[in-house]
Structure 1
Amino acid sequence: MDGLPRSSTARRLRARAGHAALVAVIGLVGLVALPGTASATGTHTVEPVLNCYRENPDGSWTVVVGYVNSSRTTVDIPRGPRNQAFTSTFASLPPTSFRPGTVNGAFTAVVGLADLYAGARWVLDGYTLDYRAAASSSQVCPSSTELPAQGNGSGPAIGLAAAGVVGAVCVLRIRARGTAGGRDDA
């Protein structure tokens, strides 16, 4: 062997130091890359907007709702006093994570006349979007407008999770068959 002999203890210490440095770098990158959260200083950064509405034959309205996030980072506002939809039938529709910039069609809601007169609205980050009042200054959705699906966009995430479960089951079954096949050969 050329050079100085290296002890296994020294190699292990160097390997551990390398792993610790890697973990520290990954942790630091993770902290820097975390999206921003809503400010508790009282400044409002996310404002709801009524993109357009459509009157339905039964007298209800389909409202297309978006938002403007004036910060440069994603803002998370959980459901509660700073992120509430009224009446209670709409409580689960608004998102809780808001990307920077203007987002049109974050969700839709079919609002009946009773809901409109009961004050159907979205309270977000200190702003109130009253659908009935906002419609007077908003535009009617053109007939060619593709309305987003009613809901908060969790459908694709649920679909991906289901596909992951199905994939994992398939992999486990294939492995089990491979193991069983190996036993038969023995």
Structure 2
Amino acid sequence: YLVLFDDVWKENFSDEIKHALISNNKGSRIIVTTRNMKVAEYFKTDFPVHIHELQPLSSEKAWELFCNKAFIFEPGKQCPIVLADMSNEIVQKCGGLPLAIVAIGGLLSTKPKNIFEWEKVSRNLRMELERNVHLTSLIRILSLSYDDLPYHLKSCMLYFGIYPEDYSINRKRLTRQWMAEGFVKNGETRPL
């Protein structure tokens, strides 16, 4: 099995799930994402753990993610030329933080594709970042990325972004989709 628990905050969460997950020595894996290092440390009491502390996205990956979200309804998910400079400025303000990029990109996907609307969002983003101390610390906490993941997991983790939040994903279907995308090969046995 492959089980993904996203955005876990409860420190003793592993106590709640350990009896439901059998150890069958067949390559099963549990992936837990958290912004709380205490959660990761607590998992060590019940499971063999490998912790990946993530870094911000590269400029190229940040731009790609932004375009996929902000221009989801545009042909080829391409940024219109008139919005290129403003879009780059917005992406830079997100500091390579996937959550910030997805949130701002999602917001902008619903806005008219004109400079006036996008400048308004950019200006409000800058003011909020500058004046909100809690948001600044949140941004530091959210400075997570997938850069430190092994290469074969990067595409797989990004693939979860196509699903809506709280969507139940069928494991076999997901595996077939990953195979169709070329992320994993049939019969391949690399550790997750």
Give your verdict on TM over 0.5: no
| Higher normalized helix content (fraction of residues) | 2
TM-score normalized by the length of structure 2: 0.22
| Higher normalized strand content (fraction of residues) | 1
Q: Name the larger-Rg structure.
A: 1
